[in-house]
Amino acid sequence: MRKLTPFDRSAQAAPVLVTARAIHTADPADTTVTAMLTDRGRIVALGTAAACEDVAARAGLTPERVDLGEAVVVPGFVDAHAHPLMFGQMMTWVDCGPEKAGSIPEIVALLKAAAAELPAGRPVRGYGYEQRNLAEKRHPTRFELDEVAADREVYLMNASGHGGVVNSYTLELNGVDRDTPNPDGGEFFRDADGELTGELSDAACNILTGVHGVKIGHHGPNFHLADEPEEHLRQLDAATQRFLAGGVTSIGDCQVTRREFDMYLRLAEAGRLELRVSMYLLSHLLDEALEMGLVGQFGNAHLSFAGIKFYADGTLGGWTAYFPDGYVGDPCRTGQLYHEPADYAELIRTAHAAGLQTATHAQSPTAIEMVVSAIEAALAERPDADARHRIEHCGLPTPAQIERMAAAGIRPVNQTQHYFNWGEGVEEAIGTPGERFNPLGEFERAGVPMTISSDAPVAEPIPLEAIQTAVTRVTRRGHRLGPDDLRISATAALRAHTIEGAVSIGREDDLGSLEPGKYADFAVLSDDPLAVPAEEIAAIQVRETWVDGVRRHAM
């Protein structure tokens, strides 16, 4: 019988005395020191080298000296919203993102080249395009993907992860034609004549998972495509190395189904789970979670259960976020809500009453209103000053909603790399309000704690890029998004990706800052993100990443 065994290498970690030009602790006073003493994976003391040596001597420790010279140390980054298995899986697909392809013919060429290398019948999968970034300013069609292959599945996932485009073979294989009704929470898109274009979104992606694949109904996008378990484990291993290379030491996996849960258990059993993972089960598993008594955090230092993930609407990048009056870029599209407000409010009430933290994806003002109202109602019925309900992405809240979030203790978990990669597309999609996408400065002024994360694979897990974007609000194309008062300081951005991330996953007692008693999880940087010009933060290199007082990554 499988069981979750303890996974804690910290007991074997020898004492280490780390010295550096600066060690930013992200403690409540934002203290900066030059030395840190660790033992058995925990931080023992911080201060000067002499002070730490004195503590070591009094404790009978003989620490290894690690002199990092002019490098700078920060807490290990907490990526509170990511999809590690999906990210690892995408690494085996064809990258069709903006650095690889700027037009539909270039995407087709990349996919055709990949198809030529694959065994006969194996699906061709690509990812990373954002339609507004393409020369054609539109999604590819199934007919264009038919040029890639007509005898096997071809799937090109949108950068948002909320759908994409398939070829004609895929539709025919699954019996989808012009008369097929749209599933709840998804859509098979059609042209003006009612013909299928090949584009599909969210629950419509269930056709890609096969007979035994994960079916999640109307509770959000389905990107849980199956591979053999050993392949999934290799994918998770590969993703882990990419997170560590970015300085990330802890992750909130914000869409855990049986597929992810099983893979994490297998990695933990094998002693291969080098990162810390807090799992948020997808909402279709809520009843099962309650039946099993999962009404609070449980697990160990590396793998734990944190809460339940919900969806209110879709994505701004994929134009499935809910705008009832239509998109400026396409008035015929409105996006959708995944629940009737009353049904969603009952789900939140049920989870909250059981003491569960909830994390709801919501982008549009209408969707955010549904979430805030449901949480307010649940709190009124069962007050809890530390419920820490989250709104994932929280793209375009109104100023009034932000004030209500502050009063209710609701925590937005934002992804600044979203507007770094395709902020212009949001402005084109919905007009002037798009410039407020992720209004971190407004959150800060209202007293709403901010968390920054990657949403990998929607963006690469590069915290320093996310921090730079929070400080500058300059996109990949050099466009500054919105007024300066939406920006935040480098110190605030660093805290948003470290200690505030730890608070958002409920782990601030042992993670997120460098303080005595906490785990010795930290990143070693080539320069100081709090001292270099804002536009140079992303160029800083992550030289090393330590977890449990042990070096897990080095350049």
> Would 219 be classed as within a structural domain?
no
Burial classification of residue 117, based on how many CB atoms lie within 10 Å of its CB (0-12 exposed, 13-18 middle, 19 or more buried): exposed
Q: Range with the lowest mean pLDDT among 134-138, 225-229, 392-396? A: 225-229
Half-sphere exposure of 155 (CA within 13 A, CB side): 24
Burial classification of residue 135, based on how many CB atoms lie within 10 Å of its CB (0-12 exposed, 13-18 middle, 19 or more buried): exposed
Domain total in the chain: 3
**Helices (H), ranges, 361-459:** 365-381, 399-408, 416-430, 440-446
Residue 539: give the domain boundaries. Answer: 1-76+513-555
Q: Which residues of 416-432 are buried (b: 16+ CB within 10 A; e: fewer)?
A: bbbbbbbbbbbbebbee
500 and 371 within one domain: yes
pLDDT band at 2 (very low <50, low <70, confident <90, very high): very low
Q: What is the pLDDT at residue 431?
A: 87
> Would 483 be classed as within a structural domain?
yes
Q: How much is the average pLDDT of 196-213?
A: 88
Q: What is the pLDDT at residue 245?
A: 98
pLDDT band at 1 (very low <50, low <70, confident <90, very high): very low
Q: Is 348 left (phi over 0), alpha (psi -120 to 50) or beta?
A: alpha
| Separation between Cα atoms, residue 89 and residue 457, nearest integer Å | 9
Q: Range with the lowest mean pLDDT among 12-16, 41-45, 54-58, 504-508? A: 12-16
Q: What is the pLDDT at residue 10?
A: 54
Residue type, 354: A
Coil/strand/helix, residue 447: coil
Q: Is residue 416 predicted with pLDDT exceeding 90? A: yes
> Would 225 be classed as within a structural domain?
no
DSSP character at residue 332: T
Q: How much is the average pLDDT of 119-123?
A: 91
424 and 276 within one domain: yes
> Would 451 be classed as within a structural domain?
yes
Q: How much is the average pLDDT of 258-286?
A: 92
Q: What is the pLDDT at residue 99?
A: 87
Give the CATH number of the domain where residue 427 resides: 3.20.20.140
Last residue of a domain, one of 208, 242, 275: 208
> Would 223 be classed as within a structural domain?
no
At 107, phi and psi to the nearest 5?
A: -65, -50
Q: What is the pLDDT at residue 236?
A: 95
532 and 434 within one domain: no
Q: What percent of the chain has pLDDT over 90?
A: 81
Q: What is the pLDDT at residue 37?
A: 98
Q: How much is the average pLDDT of 408-422?
A: 95
| Structure token digits, residue 413 | 């978990």
Q: Is residue 210 predicted with pLDDT exceeding 80? A: no
DSSP character at residue 327: B
> Would 551 be classed as within a structural domain?
yes
| Separation between Cα atoms, residue 212 and residue 79, nearest integer Å | 31
| Separation between Cα atoms, residue 148 and residue 104, nearest integer Å | 12
Q: How much is the average pLDDT of 377-404?
A: 97
Q: What is the pLDDT at residue 217?
A: 72
Q: Range with the lowest mean pLDDT among 5-9, 117-121, 538-542? A: 5-9
275 and 148 within one domain: no
Average pLDDT of the chain to the nearest whole number: 93
280 and 266 within one domain: yes
261 and 293 within one domain: yes
135 and 234 within one domain: no
Q: Calculate helix-pair angle for 365-381, 341-353, nearest 10 degrees.
A: 40
Give how far Cα 507 sits from Cα of 231, 405, 406, 412, 512, Å: 30, 21, 21, 17, 8
Q: Is residue 209 predicted with pLDDT exceeding 50? A: yes
Q: Which residues of 44-82 are buried (b: 16+ CB within 10 A; e: fewer)?
A: bbbbebeebbebbeeeebebeebebeebbbbbbbbbbbb
19 and 38 within one domain: yes
Give the CATH number of the domain where residue 117 resides: 3.10.310.70
Q: Calculate helix-pair angle for 399-408, 365-381, nearest 10 degrees.
A: 30
Q: Is residue 6 predicted with pLDDT exceeding 60? A: no
Coil/strand/helix, residue 68: coil
Please name the residue that has the structure tokens 């020369």.
135
Q: What is the pLDDT at residue 298?
A: 76
pLDDT band at 3 (very low <50, low <70, confident <90, very high): very low
Cα dihedral sign for 324, 327, 328, 331? negative
Q: What is the pLDDT at residue 281?
A: 95
Q: Is residue 251 predicted with pLDDT exceeding 60? A: yes
> Would 91 be classed as within a structural domain?
no
450 and 464 within one domain: yes
Give the CATH number of the domain where residue 532 resides: 2.30.40.10
pTM: 0.93
Q: Is residue 5 predicted with pLDDT exceeding 60? A: no
Query: 364, 395 in Cβ contact below 8 A?
Result: yes
Residue 346: Cβ within 10 Å count = 15
pLDDT band at 9 (very low <50, low <70, confident <90, very high): low
387 and 306 within one domain: yes
Residue type, 15: P
pLDDT in tens, 146-198: 999 999 999 999 988 889 999 999 999 999 999 999 988 889 999 999 999 99
The length of the chain in residues reads: 555
Burial classification of residue 209, based on how many CB atoms lie within 10 Å of its CB (0-12 exposed, 13-18 middle, 19 or more buried): middle
Output helix, strand, coil percentages for the chain, rounded to the nearest 5.
35, 25, 40
Q: What is the pLDDT at residue 317?
A: 78
pLDDT in tens, 448-458: 999 999 999 99
> Would 214 be classed as within a structural domain?
no
518 and 507 within one domain: no
| Separation between Cα atoms, residue 118 and residue 157, nearest integer Å | 18
Q: Which residues of 256-275 are buried (b: 16+ CB within 10 A; e: fewer)?
A: bbebbbebbbbbbeeeebbb
449 and 388 within one domain: yes
Query: 504, 409 in Cβ contact below 8 A?
Result: no
DSSP character at residue 480: B
Residue 112: Cβ within 10 Å count = 16
